[in-house]
Amino acid sequence: MTDTQPAMILIVEDEPKLAALLADYLAQSNFLSMHIANGLDVIPAVRAAMPDLILLDLMLPGRDGIDLCRELRTFSDVPIVMVTAKVEEIDRLLGLQLGADDYICKPFSPREVVARVQAILRRAGRQRAPAGNGLVFDDELHTASYHDQRFDLTPVEFRLLKTLSASPGRVFSRDQLMNNLYEDYRVVTDRTVDSHIKNLRRKLDAASPDKELIKSVYGVGYKFES
Ligand code: CA
């Protein structure tokens, strides 16, 4: 995985013991978490902290989970897992088409919750890992697309494009790019980088003929143009 930042999970749960248990299990799997017990605090917290996933209990003081899920979907596509105390409730929730990503019934095994969280984040990462400006990477298939125009990349080109586009406008020297290209410290020359860039540009040009996305900076290296 190229993403080193741990994912932040927002636990919305009014039973403190349950929330603490979930937080523990999530921490063991290297997730960060924050906890909210009152429904009224959820929307402001999501706007401020931008969590990577929300575990949303259905019955809450202040506002209920259904109401919250609806409002969240008006401004965010953050993955939402709804947690309900009644298994019969799940059918009703599905019928409401709230846009939640998954449903879990209490009592649950915290291990199972963590496994579902991991699965959803993997799926979300694959579907949308926006690098900004219309570029989307698919880590599993090693493809990228630019405004829905998909193109295949070699592993080296994939890493190169990811590195450049993660910091639009930043100029990378060939040395810096080379360090990111090969994990096995293979000896590469400046020319190698140039030829990978050349191939990458050809593919990008096909996807975006009217815009030069990778620019050469004379005497220094390359940058991704936003
Ligand atoms: Ca509750």
- Give the number of domains in the chain: 2
Q: Which of 60, 93, 124 is a domain's end point?
A: 124
Do residues 177 and 205 both lie within one domain?
Answer: yes
Give the distance (Å) from ligand 1 centre to CA of residue 108: 13
On whether both 204 and 142 belong to a single domain, the answer is: yes
Task: Give the side-chain half-sphere CA count within 13 A for 108.
Answer: 25
Distance 39 CA to ligand 1 centre (A): 10
Low-confidence residues in the chain, pLDDT < 50:
1-4, 128-131, 185
| The predicted structure's pLDDT at residue 220 | 83
Q: 18 and 94: one domain?
A: yes
CB–CB of 201/144 below 8 Å? no
What span, in angstroms and rounded, lies between the C-alpha atoms of 185 and 182? 6
CA of 138 to the centre of ligand 1 (A): 37
Tens digits of residue pLDDT in 7-54:
899 999 999 999 999 999 999 998 999 999 999 999 999 988 888 999
Q: Helix 155-166 crosses helix 174-181 at what angle (to 10 degrees)?
A: 130
2 falls within a domain:
no
118 Cα: distance to centroid of ligand 1 (angstroms): 23
Q: How far is the CA of 57 from the centre of ligand 1 (A)?
A: 6
Centre of ligand 1 from the C-alpha of residue 11, in Å: 12
- Return the pLDDT at 60: 96
The number of beta carbons lying within 10 Å of the beta carbon of residue 42 is 23
Residues 173 and 85 in one domain: no
Q: Are residues 65 and 160 in the same domain?
A: no
Residue 167 CA to residue 193 CA, distance in Å, equals 18
pLDDT at 217: 86
| 193 and 93 part of one domain | no
Q: How close is the Cα of 93 to the center of ligand 1, in Å?
A: 16
Q: Do 119 and 163 sit in the same domain of this protein?
A: no
Q: Report the predicted TM-score, pTM, of the whole model to 2 decimal places.
A: 0.58
User: 186 lies in which domain range?
Assistant: 135-224
69 CA distance to ligand 1 middle (Å): 15
Distance 6 CA to ligand 1 centre (A): 27
* Nearest residue to 175 via CA among 189, 161, 165, 159: 189
**171 plus 200 within the same structural domain:** yes
3: in domain: no
pLDDT attached to residue 188:
62
Q: How far is the CA of 35 from the centre of ligand 1 (A)?
A: 13
Together in a domain, 189 and 147? yes
- Ion ligand 1 residues within 5 Å by Cβ: 14, 57, 59
> pLDDT at position 1, please?
41
Instruction: Verify that 141 and 65 share a domain, yes or no.
Output: no
pLDDT of residue 116: 93
CATH number at residue 212: 1.10.10.10
Only one residue has tokens 């880590």, namely 139
Residue 45 to residue 51: CA distance in whole angstroms: 9
Q: Do residues 71 and 94 both lie within one domain?
A: yes
